[in-house]
Amino acid sequence: MSLLPRLCLALASLLPALHATPASGADTPEARVIVKLKTSSALKQIQAAGRVETLGQRLGLATRLAGQPAQDLHVVRASGLSSEALARRLSRDADVEYAVPDRLKKALALPNDPLFGSQWYLHASSVTQPAATNAQAAWELTSGNAGVIVAVVDTGVRLDHEDLAPRLLPGYDFISDDLLSGDGQNGRDADPSDPGDYLSTADLANNDLRTLCNTTLPTTSSWHGTQVAGILAAETNNSRGIAGMAGSSRLLPVRVLGKCGGFDSDIIAGMRWAAGLSVPGVPANPNPARVINVSLGGEGSCNPAFAAAVAEIQTAGALVVAAAGNETGPVLEPANCTGVLAVAGIRHVGTKVGYSSYGAAVGISAPAGNCVNVLAGQPCLFPLINTINLGSTAPAGNGYTGINDVTVGTSFATPLVAGTAALMLAANPALSGTEIIRLIKTSALPFPSDASLPNCPLVTSDGQCNCTTTTCGAGMLNTGTAVAAALATVATAPVAKITVGGTPTAQTAFSLDASGSTSADGSRIVAWKWVQVSGPQPGSFSADNVATPSFTAPTAGIYVISVTVTTATGRQGSSQTSIEVQAAPAKSSGGGGGGSMDMATLALLGLLAPVALLLRRRGLASRD
């Protein structure tokens, strides 16, 4: 059997079907469902735990609140039935807008052992390697920008890796289920380091975890997030290790995957937090990401919870780049959500690599690694070289994967695209997510054709086919041309300007003004979009689509506000400002005006007291 079929079979064994039903009712895992209430629901007037308990009582079930990915989303848990069954029953409730199973997502790569080798995929495109991304040409235009932050939503990152440590920002661990976390902590915490996602014999002795993971076989740690982070932004020009695509961009590690994967609710919470959106019970993210790398996925179409999260993230000004999947089938969730830039995998020659998922949802294709050779014991010829930890289970020393390692998968194609987006933002920070996607697509190289292969969606026995623009996206990633295109838009992009009126004070509306924004090409500015990027608590705009709204901050603190302006020719420019909001003035205990007025009132009462006493003695004062 050739190597690619063996890789596909190995992947199938490592990533079992998410929807498999246990044979025994006793082994049925506890149901987990993400629920959103209707805007008109009276249940919103009570505490979140009470809402969930009330919904359960209506169904005759003992339900409990397991978390809140967002203020109006609830993770509901119940025993004795499947997540699918609970979702169906909750969906029929008059107060529920939607209810969807809180499924596990899997890391989408086939990592192995470390060894350093050549990063062929960053070189210039050639006759023998047309899929290479030409990153070197992009680095001649920009070395990246430390102000551009890219989030790695994954298994966490080894924070002590020498090639990553200089690039890392404080992140967060969003794994809420102790069965999956493996870090000895109780729920979510501020440590996004990867303790290893291995399954030991002792782990599998736990019936709940064994059932949840749907396996009886121990596994080693993947260090998946560390590998993705290295491809994305390993420190360059430091005389060691590998070069990261994104240059000097900084990394925000967000841990959502543990032993055997991660739940949708944790992934959604992590993605939202990475973009600077609030998550109940979690401190605000002081370093919102402009690009969010999601190298994970699961079967199914984009559910409403993921769709809503992606829409919020877009509004906050961030771009989600996600792996299409390694299933030789339809694009996985969340890559198939509208607004996400989905990445498929191609071989070094530009044809679809056998394991890559494909379809109309794909936006772009990038090298995902392929081994070519079919002789056992021969080195893999075209892997992606990654940062990794050398421990098979718990962390050990740090190192790199190499040419003897089968490090392939759309997980590793995705950070090449996310890194390209970061370089584009370094060249032109005013680019919106929509503009980044457009420029990446229009700068892509056309797919080559191999006469021995069918055109996708038809595939060979090992999954290969000639890519088309309806199955593998707009073309092959060309980082050099994409960054050049981003630079070319700088001269014509409008310049957004924000003016803050008065002294911003909590609980009092203060003015914002973007009417001073200008357009380089002379076209009229026709649209404005205001967003609160960060702050102690969510504030409110009088309107978010006018030039001069007001903003009300509920509490004192630093608030970051951004505005994106759009011209009549469709050009966009963004700007943001930090606003220090003062505390609201303390109210007097007497309920009157200022202190001097209170004293005057007291003095007047003192003068009138004798008169009142005299009137009372004469019977002329009113009685109580």
Structure token digits, residue 13: 């064994």
Q: Which residues does the annotation mark as catalytic?
A: 154, 224, 411
CA distance 112 to 228: 13
The amino acid that residue 532 corresponds to is Q
Structure token digits, residue 487: 């630079």
CA 612 to chain centre: 70
Say if CB 75 and CB 34 are below 8 A apart: yes
Peptide bond into 457 cis (omega under 30): yes
Instruction: Find, among 489, 496, 490, 486, the residue nearest to 576 by Cα.
Output: 496
Instruction: Find, among 5, 357, 1, 16, the residue nearest to 219 by Cα.
Output: 16
CA distance 125 to 481: 12
Say if CB 210 and CB 128 are below 8 A apart: no
What residue spans of 449-591 are helical by DSSP H?
479-488
The backbone torsions φ and ψ at residue 323, rounded to the nearest 5 degrees and listed phi first, read -75, 135
DSSP secondary structure letter of residue 476:
B
Question: Token pair 């702050």 is at which residue?
Answer: 535
Cβ neighbour number for residue 576 with a 10 Å cutoff: 18
H or E segment and range at residue 575 = strand 572-581
Apex 138 CA angle, 133 and 142, nearest 5 = 150
Structure token digits, residue 306: 């993921």
Cα–Cα distances (Å) from 178 to 33, 79, 187, in that order, read: 18, 17, 6
Structure token digits, residue 474: 């707009």
DSSP secondary structure letter of residue 266:
H
Cα–Cα distances (Å) from 56 to 65, 263, 424, 477, in that order, read: 10, 21, 49, 49
CA distance 202 to 222: 18
The set of residues, in sequence order, having a beta carbon less than 8 Å from that of 333 and lying 6+ positions away, is: 105, 297, 298, 299, 300, 301, 302, 303, 306
Side-chain half-sphere of 94: how many Cα atoms within 13 Å?
5
